[in-house]
A and B are shown apart, each in its own frame.
Chain A
Amino acid sequence: QTVVTQEPSFSVSPGGTVTLTCGLSSGSVSTTYYPSWYQQIPGRAPRTLIYNTNTRSSGVPDRFSASILGNKAALTITGAQADDESDYFCLLYMGSGISVFGGGTKLTVL
């Protein structure tokens, strides 16, 4: 079974830029996987940040952007803020109605 891979943890300084990635254990991520990105603060429901590779959800600041970078989907946070400290998950559509989440990245802002 294909595994969706993410960095387990990442650290960024306040005001800095960080890029989180979402890959496949076998093969390359492309737009046909309709990658999406979610932010989840512990104890709260996930918040949709990005869908269809690079479309921001309503209300999401433009310092969150996403793209395909090489063979992975990527989420870039520009000008990181303290309240960006959270867990970030990507989701890939595998076809035939099946979706798979990545393992998540714990982002620390310090």
Chain B
Amino acid sequence: QVQLKESGPGLVKPSETLSLTCTVSGGSISRTDYHWGWIRRPPGKGLEWIGSIIYSGSTYYNPSLRGRVTVSVDTSNSQFSLTLTSVTAADTAVYYCARTNSEWYWGQGTLVTVSS
């Protein structure tokens, strides 16, 4: 059974860069039929799909975040990462990493607060 776990700073200052890593265990990150993605839920709001990557390196991003978001994969460490630049308070959310090839498997989530 695949397990995913998010890690990274819980507090980021406005205008700085948010960086999170998802560590995958119990399954290969190199499978070509999987998408590895990031989703977030801001307080009081709904879920938002941020973006995803496949093993080949092809990436797909939410148009509303394009230009600020990058998702990358590190197969040697079974990890994939999220980078979000120029953050504001609106980026405060619980961030989830997940895997899908039609059915999503979720990490437990990590809260990131943007505040000075």
* A-B interaction: yes
Residues of the A chain whose Cβ atoms lie less than 8 Å from the Cβ of B64: 1
Closest residue of A by beta carbon distance from B109: A45
Min CB distance B21 to A, Å, is: 17
Q: How far is the CA of A38 from the CA of B47 in the complex (A)?
A: 10
Min CB distance A38 to B, Å, is: 7
* B49–A91 CB distance below 8 A: yes
Say if the beta carbon of B34 comes within 8 Å of chain A: no
Q: Which of A17-25, A68-76, A78-86, A98-106 contacts B (4 or more CB under 8 A)?
A: A98-106
A-B contact count (CB 8 A): 62
Q: How far is the CA of A104 from the CA of B52 in the complex (A)?
A: 21
State which of B49, B52, B105 has its C-beta within 8 Å of the C-beta of A48.
Answer: B105
* A101–B108 CB distance below 8 A: no
Closest residue of B by beta carbon distance from A98: B60
Residues of the A chain whose Cβ atoms lie less than 8 Å from the Cβ of B108: 45
Say if the beta carbon of A51 comes within 8 Å of chain B: yes
> Of B46, B96, B102, which is in contact with the most chain A CB atoms at under 10 Å from its CB?
B46
* B62–A104 CB distance below 8 A: no
Residues of the B chain whose Cβ atoms lie less than 8 Å from the Cβ of A99: 37, 49, 52
Instruction: Produce 1/0 per residue, B74-116, CB < 8 A to A.
Output: 0000000000000000000000100000111111110000000
